[in-house]
Amino acid sequence: MNNENRLREEICWLGASLFQRGYTVGSAGNISARLDDGWLITPTDACLGRLDPAKIAKVNSKGEWISGDKPSKTLLLHRQIYDRNASVNGVVHTHSTNLVNLTLQGVWSRPSILPPLTPYQVMKVGRIPLIDYDRPGSDAVAAQIAELANQVNGVMLERLGPVIWGKTVSSACFALEELEETAKLWMQSDKKPSPLPESAVRELSEVFSIKW
């Protein structure tokens, strides 16, 4: 099995896993993976729980659709990340319930939607900024993400959900899951817990070479 086929299988497996555990529902969300000659991206309005490897869209390095079903309407958003951060090989976007609810109830701050609560949140995810609401697929949102592609490991789209990127599709998915579970802890806490001390965040940042 060549690298492209392995990535197609990985996207399908991860999509099904996210769907089955409620990280996304219906036809919401999208996943992409970098190739040597472009990238793969889930089709528009596809259910992540029922992806067909052969139907995943393939686009060239210019973002032009060359095979598979029609690409997700967030194609430009994904391209902005890949074009600006050579270390990124996977991007995942979901409409995860607790994170969307966080934007409805009020985030901790615009530069960081959640405080640093757990070591794995700091180590695996890092600081996630908020991007104001705009329609799905908006060019303006894609432009804002382009400016952040090398500064953070993801963003939170107000009322829509997280967009997380990483060195692999799997690592991006795992980071997204960690972020959603941290939002769940925060939203379910009647008395909001204190953030980790600055010294602890600084140590984690230095030891694990993460962005906060």
Tokens of 124: 């695996």
Catalytic annotation, pick one of 23, 82, 120, 133 = 120
15-to-84, 88, 121, 179 alpha-carbon distances in Å: 25, 18, 22, 17
As a dihedral over the C-alpha atoms of residue 75, residue 80, residue 83, residue 84, rounded to 10 degrees, the angle is -160
Residue 61: name the closest of 40, 43, 77, 42 by CA.
40
| Strand, coil or helix: 121 | helix
Token reading at 90:
């996977």
Asked about 120 being catalytic, the answer comes back as: yes
Q: Go through the chain and tell me how many residues it has.
A: 212
The residues assigned a catalytic role are: 120
